[in-house]
A = this chain, B = another copy of it.
Amino acid sequence: MIEKIQKNKILYLKLYEILKLEIIKKMINSKYYSIRQVVIKYDTNINTALKVFKMLENDGYIYLKKGVGYFIKEKSNFYVEKEILPIMESFHFRDNDIEKINFSNGSPSSEYFPFEIYKKLIERALKNYGASLLGYQDIQGLYSLRKTLADNLEKKGLFVKKEDIMITAGTQQSLSIILNTFRDSSPKTIAISNPTYPNALNLFKNMLKIKTFDLKKDGWDLIKFEEELRKERIHFVYIMTNFQNPTGISWSLEKKKKLLILGHKYNFYIIEDDCFSEFYYTKKVEPIKALDQLGKEKVIYIKTYSKILAPGIGIAAIIMPPTIMKKAILVKYTLDHGPSGLNQKVLEYFICDKYFDKHLKKLNKIFKAKYHKIFELLSTIQHISIVNKPKGGFFIWLQLDEGIDEEIFYKKCKKNGVSLLPGNIFYSDRRNSGKLRLSFIHPTLEKIEEAVKIIDNILKNY
């Protein structure tokens, strides 16, 4: 796959990415190549090398000392709390899987972005709608996009009206809007899975009281959950019902139904973060929103389009009960004016012209092959086991044998060129339980094989 795509790339972009990656691994302030060395080493012409050096300098990777040559630049002052570091670092791997093997990133690699289509649709949108796409848009989201999404969501069994859809800048902004919509002087409690998506956790811990519930192989223990509901008012439940991040677990239909019944009985909203339900490799799954009763909605549904198109599209949709939409529009209005009209129009075209379905099909085919490959390989190695075999999504939740520390193991992998994420960042109490999250969608089949060998070696020599 990489091979095929790289052939289509302009040569300088390839060189640019290779050099960027090399730099990341080097010492800061060390002497860099001369242009002549790059010309020789990468068998390129001087103009390409000059152009790429200019780009690297411009992007802050290298700097020129007059009369001495190029040097590696100090990285930007990107300090972060220790526990967030791994997940933030994972973003820096995105385009660098040529040498490092990326098992950490939760988004498809840029080689899978439908770039040529995006380019074409941008041109079309600019041609058809002109400057009006650069102005302020309907705060709830482009009318025509909402209409398109309403039709498209029917395929998931979600029967919604465009009036119940709000377009946002992504999952994170969607969560902010929802929480701020309900904010008043009384403190609120949210129930979340343990483990869970750390970025949601970081947002919640500033605004809400958090109660965690262990995620079993088919959802929460709802008897225990109801006991808690009897003891204490819970206002929200936040869950990824299908192929959860990080465990890959999907809730069973029974538990989805039961949770909804509890939502009515104890009057809480279920915030369903549906990142992954399109990415199924065995059979189709339904979001809990599909079970939600019309007119008595208890589910607030968030769907990001970053996973299918590209993170840079920055568009998600919230489906919410009509009763809270008014307030949510006001909240959104105080946050920002949402994704650009241009990107909204591009997403609309992408769906209407069936690129969406075609691209999703293509991604699923690629990811499914990787999914089968990784499980086949993992079954052959020792000292690590699969906690729960998911039926879709991007992630595998792994358990290290007792005595193997996840932090040490994670660092060893990183040092050997394999990036994955230690389990503790997904727990609200940062517990070290020997877990790892492996995202299998990034590397090629060959790289997956190579990485599993590296992991196997580390485990054998631990």
Residues of A within 8 A of B (CB): 9-10, 13, 17, 58-60, 76-81, 84, 88, 91, 94-95, 107, 110-111, 113, 115, 118-119, 122-123, 126, 129-140, 143-144, 147, 162-163, 169-170, 172-173, 176, 180, 183, 199, 202-203, 206, 309-314, 322, 325-326, 329-330, 333-337, 339-343
Instruction: Quote the shortest CB–CB distance from A347 to chain B (angstroms).
Output: 12
Instruction: Quote the shortest CB–CB distance from A203 to chain B (angstroms).
Output: 5
Q: In the complex, what residues of B have CB within 8 A of residue A77's CB?
A: 163, 322, 325-326
Among candidates B79, B173, B334, residue contacting A199 with C-beta atoms closer than 8 Å: B334
Q: In the complex, what residues of B have CB within 8 A of residue A60's CB?
A: 143-144, 147, 162
B132 touches A78 (CB 8 A): no
Q: In the complex, what residues of B have CB within 8 A of residue A126's CB?
A: 115, 119, 122
In the complex, what distance in Å separates the CA atom of A246 from the CA atom of B115? 43
Q: In the complex, what residues of B have CB within 8 A of residue A180's CB?
A: 206
Among candidates B118, B134, B136, B309, residue contacting A91 with C-beta atoms closer than 8 Å: B136
Q: In the complex, what residues of B have CB within 8 A of residue A322's CB?
A: 77
Closest residue on chain B to residue A108 by CB atoms: B135
Among candidates B134, B310, B325, residue contacting A115 with C-beta atoms closer than 8 Å: B134
Instruction: Quote the shortest CB–CB distance from A205 to chain B (angstroms).
Output: 9
Q: Provided the pairs A119-B126, A170-B336, A340-B340 are in contact, do residues A313 and B134 lie with their beta carbons within 8 angstroms? A: yes
B310 touches A143 (CB 8 A): no
Among candidates B134, B163, B199, B202, residue contacting A311 with C-beta atoms closer than 8 Å: B134
Q: In the complex, what residues of B have CB within 8 A of residue A329's CB?
A: 78-80
B172 touches A335 (CB 8 A): yes
24 contacts between A and B (CB under 8 A): A13-B129, A17-B132, A59-B143, A59-B144, A77-B322, A77-B326, A80-B330, A81-B330, A84-B333, A95-B132, A107-B136, A119-B126, A131-B310, A133-B312, A134-B309, A169-B169, A172-B334, A176-B335, A183-B206, A199-B333, A199-B334, A312-B341, A314-B337, A314-B340
Closest residue on chain B to residue A5 by CB atoms: B131
Closest residue on chain B to residue A115 by CB atoms: B131
Closest residue on chain B to residue A51 by CB atoms: B128
B110 touches A336 (CB 8 A): no
Among candidates B80, B113, B335, residue contacting A135 with C-beta atoms closer than 8 Å: B113
Q: Provided the pairs A119-B126, A132-B95, A134-B118 are in contact, do residues A203 and B334 lie with their beta carbons within 8 angstroms? A: yes
Q: In the complex, what residues of B have CB within 8 A of residue A138's CB?
A: 76, 78
A94 touches B314 (CB 8 A): no
Q: In the complex, what residues of B have CB within 8 A of residue A337's CB?
A: 170, 172, 311, 314
B172 touches A336 (CB 8 A): yes
Instruction: Quote the shortest CB–CB distance from A172 to chain B (angstroms).
Output: 5
Nearest 5 interchain pairs by C-beta: A134-B312, A134-B310, A60-B143, A115-B131, A110-B131
Task: Give 20 new A-B contacts, CB below 8 A, not counting A115-B130, A131-B310, A170-B336.
Answer: A59-B143, A78-B138, A78-B140, A80-B329, A94-B135, A94-B136, A107-B135, A110-B135, A113-B134, A115-B131, A118-B134, A134-B312, A134-B313, A136-B311, A136-B312, A169-B169, A169-B336, A173-B335, A202-B330, A202-B334
Q: In the complex, what residues of B have CB within 8 A of residue A183's CB?
A: 206
Q: Provided the pairs A80-B326, A163-B77, A170-B336 are in contact, do residues A312 and B130 lie with their beta carbons within 8 angstroms? A: no
In the complex, what distance in Å separates the CA atom of A337 from the CA atom of B173? 9
Q: Provided the pairs A107-B136, A135-B110 are in contact, do residues A130 and B170 lie with their beta carbons within 8 angstroms? A: no
In the complex, what distance in Å separates the CA atom of A180 from the CA atom of B206? 9
Q: In the complex, what residues of B have CB within 8 A of residue A81's CB?
A: 330
Q: In the complex, what residues of B have CB within 8 A of residue A135's CB?
A: 94-95, 107, 110, 113, 310-312
In the complex, what distance in Å separates the CA atom of A136 from the CA atom of B111? 13
Q: In the complex, what residues of B have CB within 8 A of residue A143's CB?
A: 59-60, 76
In the complex, what distance in Å separates the CA atom of A122 from the CA atom of B107? 24
Closest residue on chain B to residue A79 by CB atoms: B326
Instruction: Quote the shortest CB–CB distance from A149 to chain B (angstroms).
Output: 13
Q: In the complex, what residues of B have CB within 8 A of residue A84's CB?
A: 330, 333
Task: Give the residue among A88, A123, A131, A137 with the most B Cβ atoms within 10 A.
Answer: A131
